[in-house]
Chains A and B, each alone.
Chain A
Amino acid sequence: MSAPGSQGAQRTDSHYAALVGALGFVVVAAFLVSLFVGYAGLDAPQAVSDALHGADTLPAIVLVELRLPRALLGCFVGFSLGLAGAAMQGFLRNPLAEPGIVGVSGAAALGAVTAFYSGLSQIIPLALPIGGMAGAAASALLLYALAGRGAGTTTLVLAGVAINSFAAALTSLALNLSPNGFAALEVIYWLMGSLVDRSLPQVWLALPFMAVGWLLLLASAPALDALSLGEATAQSLGFDMRRLRLQLVGGAACAVGAAVAVSGAIGFVGLVAPHVLRPFVGHRPGRLLLASGLGGAALLLVADIAARLLPIRPELKLGVITALIGAPFLFHLVYRLRREG
């Protein structure tokens, strides 16, 4: 945790570059696999060449209109969740701070549900990501007010439980009040998440907001590094804690809110990715940000590929698969925390 010497710094720099490169490679590979895994046999070379030549053939339509948005969203949503998880853990100095556990994803789903089922997003499509972001921002502020920085794990998790159950209850209520008979069944989508039959317009709708969130979160890297030396030290190094807080709340709200609005609340990605990758970045929270984002993207793409390859129909919700991976992880963390306790 202490600042490394200059020689060591050089070595970790090249390590870090290699790590980011390797993660980037995994993400690209998973993205390509995701494009060519599906329910119907797709002549891949034909589809790519038709799509590139602008030919209006069936394989090209499937590739561009169905497979591409799904793979893109898997990548972007995973990046958002992994990045937000790393940033929240760095800032709150709490290993359990994750958008799903502390209720930011759940509140984002509530915001998106309100915008969608009220019919608002049919009139103004932008209302959907904005609803998600408003929900995420409200819960992030509430969480901060309830738990605060450096709060004990118990306080943080309890605040998360409160926000999560409140948001889930209101989401169910909103769906039950909808005049559409199908709405009530859709609570599982919003609470578990899925990328089935997403479309390109949805990608363009969410991407700008997610990108703003990424920039805000990534820009907080130096401050998070300084913060790992203690709040007083960070302040003496010239970092404004109030500004950092706003930046992180805003960044997490944009990234997670917009992501949840188009994919539902997918849990555990923001927990698993930072924890797996932390040892590889020398436990520096600033460096963990990008690495964790890429790790989250790879994780979600692989989970989405698994959803399509597993012989279960209709396919499992993505959140079910990430929970199958993430829940044992959470058990392990809780066990370790208890020992350190």
Chain B
Amino acid sequence: MRFIRGSRFDARGAVRAALAAACATFAVAAAAQPQRPQRIVSINMCADELLLRLADRDRIASVAWLSRDEDNSNVAALAKGVPVNHGLAEEIMALRPDLVLAGAFSSQTSVQILRRLGVNVVEVQVPRNMDEARGEIRALAAAIGESERGEKMVGEIDAGFRALGLSAQSPRLRAVVMQPNGFTVEKGSLVEDIMNRAGLENLASRIDAGSYLSIPLEAVVLQQADVMILNGEVYGAPSLATEALSHPVLAALGRRLKVVAVPPKLWTCVGPGLVEAARLLVAQTRGARAARR
């Protein structure tokens, strides 16, 4: 899903894809820092989100340019005024960083050059569930020397999920995530974990079809989903990818199918947005849940 969101052939797209690709969780590859880094540069949009939320402004030297874009980032307001970079080794070296946060799949050439030049680079991974997401918040917080704030964030997220107020008896609704180009959400992904916490069963996990699963509309219809989650900008500039999301067959399904739109930025990266996405799902499916009871 993250690959799909940011795909474009031009340079802008390459950066965007690479950055978005490795969002959400952080496996700290580097050894713990002896002293707190004072000039932190992030070249990954998801690292940006945690960095901007956890570290004081004066220790952040630069964040990825995408984080200023409100459509992509949950922390666009925080990123205002912070210098931005485009993930190029040259511009990063000019900032003389003592810590660089990068995605595991992003800007590999830049990362290799930075490492050769002796810069401390911490790579982030893609989380597959909430446990890993918690681990990554803690790991990144430790790397930047803000473990206490990291722990607080984990606690707030856990409390947010508990406050969803779904009893164990609540019926599980069958849901399918539709992303542009007919892609859906794979089995064993963070998004699926969030759906489960919001009382939804991911229909796509019944079909085992590899990680980047494309789902034909007719399978969506015949699998009798209760909820369809639109994960994409349906009303943006025209593209065929998003056109399928407004296919007349969805209108024909009418009351049988509750359509919920979730802004992709909420659950692309690890952060409080995950709780917000779950809250949105619970609130929007209340009617469908009541009908099932």
A contact set with B: CB distance below 8 Å: 38-42, 56, 58-59, 61-62, 64-67, 116-117, 119, 121-122, 176, 178-186, 189, 196-197, 199-201, 313-314
- A58-B224, A119-B237 are known contacts. Are A185 and B252 too (CB-CB below 8 A)? no
Residues on the B chain within 8 Å of A67, using CB:
218
* Closest chain B CB from A229 CB (angstroms): 47
A197 and B182 within 8 A (CB) = yes
Residues on the A chain within 8 Å of B241, using CB:
180, 182-183, 185-186
* Closest chain A CB from B79 CB (angstroms): 20
Interchain CB contact (< 8 A) of A183 among B182, B223, B237, B248: B237
B1-24 near A? 1/0 per residue, CB < 8 Å? 000111111100100100000000
Q: Which residue of A lies closest to B72 (CB)?
A: A181
Q: How many residues of B contact A (CB 8 A)?
A: 37
A182 and B7 within 8 A (CB) = yes
Interchain CB contact (< 8 A) of A65 among B4, B10, B224, B249: B249
Q: Which residue of B lies closest to A115 (CB)?
A: B238
Q: Which residue of B lies closest to A187 (CB)?
A: B9
Main secondary structure of the interface of A (DSSP, over half): helix
User: How far is it, in angstroms, between the C-alpha of A38 and the C-alpha of B13 when the chains are bound?
Assistant: 34
* Closest chain B CB from A14 CB (angstroms): 43
Whether B83 sits at the interface, judged by CB under 8 Å, is no
- A41-B222, A42-B222, A117-B237 are known contacts. Are A181 and B8 too (CB-CB below 8 A)? yes
A39 and B239 within 8 A (CB) = no
Residues on the A chain within 8 Å of B236, using CB:
179-180
B221 and A197 within 8 A (CB) = no
B250-286 near A? 1/0 per residue, CB < 8 Å? 0011101000000000000000000000000000000
User: How far is it, in angstroms, between the C-alpha of A64 and the C-alpha of B236 when the chains are bound?
Assistant: 28
B180 and A182 within 8 A (CB) = yes
Interchain CB contact (< 8 A) of A66 among B237, B242, B249: B249
Residues on the A chain within 8 Å of B16, using CB:
181
Residues on the B chain within 8 Å of A56, using CB:
252, 254
A314 and B218 within 8 A (CB) = no
Residues on the A chain within 8 Å of B8, using CB:
176, 181, 183-185
A184 and B218 within 8 A (CB) = no
B221 and A62 within 8 A (CB) = yes
Q: List 15 A-B contacts (CB under 8 A).
A: A40-B221, A40-B222, A40-B223, A61-B249, A66-B221, A67-B218, A116-B238, A116-B240, A117-B239, A119-B238, A179-B237, A180-B239, A181-B8, A182-B4, A199-B248
Residues on the A chain within 8 Å of B219, using CB:
39-40
Residues on the B chain within 8 Å of A122, using CB:
238
Beta-carbon contacts under 8 Å, B164-219 to A: 180-182, 209, 214, 216-219
A-B contact count (CB 8 A): 111
Q: Which residue of A lies closest to B209 (CB)?
A: A313
Residues on the A chain within 8 Å of B5, using CB:
181
User: How far is it, in angstroms, between the C-alpha of A61 and the C-alpha of B225 when the chains are bound?
Assistant: 14
Q: Which residue of B lies closest to A179 (CB)?
A: B237
B contact set with A: CB distance below 8 Å: 4-10, 13, 16, 180-182, 209, 214, 216-219, 221-224, 236-242, 244, 247-249, 252-254, 256
A66 and B218 within 8 A (CB) = yes
Residues on the A chain within 8 Å of B237, using CB:
117, 119, 178-180, 183
Residues on the A chain within 8 Å of B254, using CB:
56
* Closest chain B CB from A332 CB (angstroms): 34
User: How far is it, in angstroms, between the C-alpha of A81 and the C-alpha of B217 when the chains are bound?
Assistant: 27
Can you name 15 extra interface pairs (CB under 8 A) apart from A62-B222, A182-B242, A196-B182? A38-B218, A40-B218, A40-B221, A58-B224, A61-B253, A62-B221, A62-B249, A64-B252, A176-B9, A178-B238, A183-B8, A183-B241, A186-B240, A313-B214, A314-B182
Residues on the A chain within 8 Å of B10, using CB:
176, 184
Residues on the B chain within 8 Å of A119, using CB:
237-238
A39 and B238 within 8 A (CB) = no
Interchain CB contact (< 8 A) of B252 among A65, A176, A181, A197: A65
7 smallest A-B Cβ distances: which pairs?
Answer: A182-B241, A180-B237, A65-B249, A40-B222, A180-B239, A179-B237, A182-B239
Residues on the B chain within 8 Å of A313, using CB:
209, 214
* Closest chain A CB from B220 CB (angstroms): 9
Interchain CB contact (< 8 A) of B9 among A61, A65, A184, A314: A184
Interchain CB contact (< 8 A) of B216 among A39, A185, A199: A39
Q: Which residue of A lies closest to B242 (CB)?
A: A182
- Which among B7, B242, B249, B256 has the highest number of chain A CB atoms within 10 Å? B249
- A121-B238, A180-B237, A181-B13 are known contacts. Are A197 and B181 too (CB-CB below 8 A)? no
- A186-B239, A189-B240, A199-B248 are known contacts. Are A181 and B6 too (CB-CB below 8 A)? yes
Residues on the A chain within 8 Å of B244, using CB:
197
A196 and B13 within 8 A (CB) = no
Q: Which residue of B lies closest to A198 (CB)?
A: B247
Interchain CB contact (< 8 A) of B217 among A179, A181, A185, A197: A197
User: How far is it, in angstroms, between the C-alpha of A58 and the C-alpha of B222 when the chains are bound?
Assistant: 6
User: How far is it, in angstroms, between the C-alpha of A122 and the C-alpha of B16 when the chains are bound?
Assistant: 27
- A40-B223, A176-B10 are known contacts. Are A62 and B238 too (CB-CB below 8 A)? no
Q: Which residue of A lies closest to B250 (CB)?
A: A65
* Closest chain B CB from A65 CB (angstroms): 4
* Closest chain A CB from B120 CB (angstroms): 32
